[in-house]
Amino acid sequence: MALEEVKVIDKIEVVENGTVHVREATRILKDGEQIAQTYHRWSFEKGADISSMPEKVQAIAAAAWAD
């Protein structure tokens, strides 16, 4: 029985006012089969420091926040 924890950014969305919402899923796998999942969410307003986020989040934010 091998347990594994996998974290992935599974949702990035931009709402009307330009705020970027990011959802990270933490999946627990047992022998390759998902047995549990939890979420962590962040919101970033235009101009926020997102340097700690993955490149794909930064790219989407840059495009959304471009004038």
Please, which pLDDT band fits residue 1 given cuts at 50, 70 and 90?
A: confident
Q: Please identify which residue in the block is written with the tokens 């950014």.
A: 9
Give the C-alpha separation, 61 to 63, whole Å: 5
pLDDT digits (tens, 9 = 90+) for 8-67: 999 999 999 999 999 999 999 999 999 999 999 999 999 999 999 999 999 999 999 997
**pLDDT surpasses 90 at 6:** yes
Give the C-alpha separation, 12 to 5, whole Å: 21
Residue 62, Cβ neighbours under 10 Å: how many?
11
pTM: 0.87
